[in-house]
């Protein structure tokens, strides 16, 4: 019990610092992503509402809302941990954390925990604003809760990996533009993968983001492109893999102890 407490000592103040970091500029870190999601909804919903039918009982705008919510959760969870760590590296204040007796578990829980908080706050904001545009109900709330937290945790840990690897903002931008963004837009946010050619369906099935969004959407409508239990298995495996990599890099001090 005492050893576990020692490992986690310092998690709370570091978590508080990380949450306060993004909350002090909430207009940029929370309000701006909500506005972006609303613009996506207005444009795509207006243009495609009468032209695209995804599920028999679900209109296109209703279908789009959970995808936009989860896309916002994923992108902001990644941005929080990655930007925080790279800023600390560049500004030189990372040394103040390195001289503390914080364990790698404390770093992990604080950074990923703050990313989950930011992702869920932005996601809740997007949901509250967009749900007025189309009917929406919770068919299976537990799926919504699981994929919200799991998706934010996956991206928070991935952002921490990117922040450890990167040495300048350009590298974080490249990671986001060439890995995160393509995987997000190829995950079924704006469409059902059933409408894709076989090759692109195969690509989507290899994309963990697809299972996060599809499972999250199943929680609202009770229907999805694949079984939510399959999504549960894929997302859980992805979460374990990314967290294990992240903890290993933190434990060895990858690119933060030279």
Extents of the domains making up the chain: 2-252
- Range in 104-118, 157-171, 244-258 with the lowest mean pLDDT: 244-258
Contact between 157 and 119 under an 8 Å Cβ cutoff? The reply is no
pLDDT of residue 3: 47
Count Cα atoms within 13 angstroms, Cβ side, for 123: 25
pLDDT at 221 over 50: yes
Distances (CA, A) of 221 to 58, 143, 207, 249: 8, 11, 22, 39
pLDDT of residue 239: 97
Task: Render pLDDT for 57-80 as a digit per residue (tens, 0 to 9).
Answer: 778 888 899 999 999 999 999 999
pLDDT at 6 over 60: no
pLDDT above 90 covers a percentage of the chain that reads 62
Give the pLDDT band of residue 1 (cuts 50, 70, 90). Answer: very low
pLDDT at 37 over 90: yes
pLDDT of residue 134: 84
pLDDT above 70 covers a percentage of the chain that reads 93
pLDDT at 2 over 60: no
- The string over 36-52, giving b where at least 16 C-beta atoms fall within 10 Å of a residue's C-beta and e elsewhere, is bbbebbeebbeebbeeb
Distances (CA, A) of 173 to 23, 32, 166, 169: 22, 18, 10, 6
What integer is the mean pLDDT of 220-239? 94
CA dist., res. 123 & res. 113, Å (int): 15
In degrees and rounded to multiples of 5, residue 205 shows phi and psi of -70, -20
pLDDT at 183 over 60: yes
Neighbouring C-beta atoms of residue 111, cutoff 10 Å: 25
**Bridge partners for 55 per DSSP:** 58
Contact between 100 and 10 under an 8 Å Cβ cutoff? The reply is yes
Task: Give how far the C-alpha of residue 152 lies from the chain's centroid of Cα atoms, to the nearest Å.
Answer: 4
């Amino acid at each position: 019990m005492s050893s576990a407490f020692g490992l986690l000592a310092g998690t709370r103040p570091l978590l508080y610092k990380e949450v306060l970091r993004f909350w002090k500029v909430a207009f940029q870190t929370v309000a701006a992503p909500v506005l972006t999601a609303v613009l996506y909804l207005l444009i795509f919903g207006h243009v495609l509402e009468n032209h695209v039918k995804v599920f028999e009982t679900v209109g296109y705008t209703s279908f789009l809302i959970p995808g936009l919510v989860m896309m916002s959760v994923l992108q902001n969870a990644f941005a929080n941990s990655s930007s925080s760590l790279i800023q600390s590296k560049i500004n030189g204040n990372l040394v103040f954390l390195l001289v503390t007796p914080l364990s790698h578990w404390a770093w992990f829980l604080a950074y990923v925990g703050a990313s989950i908080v930011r992702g869920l706050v932005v996601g809740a904001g997007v949901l509250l604003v967009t749900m007025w545009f189309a009917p929406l109900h919770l068919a299976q709330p537990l799926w919504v809760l699981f994929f919200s937290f799991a998706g934010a945790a996956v991206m928070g840990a991935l952002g921490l990996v990117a922040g450890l690897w990167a040495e300048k903002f350009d590298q974080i931008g490249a990671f986001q533009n060439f890995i995160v963004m393509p995987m997000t837009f190829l995950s079924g946010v704006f469409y059902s993968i059933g409408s894709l050619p076989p090759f692109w369906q195969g690509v989507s099935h290899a994309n963990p983001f697809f299972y996060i969004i599809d499972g999250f959407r199943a929680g609202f409508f009770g229907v999805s492109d694949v079984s939510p239990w399959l999504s549960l298995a894929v997302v859980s495996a992805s979460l374990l893999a990314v967290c294990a990599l992240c903890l290993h890099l933190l434990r060895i001090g990858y690119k933060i102890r030279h």
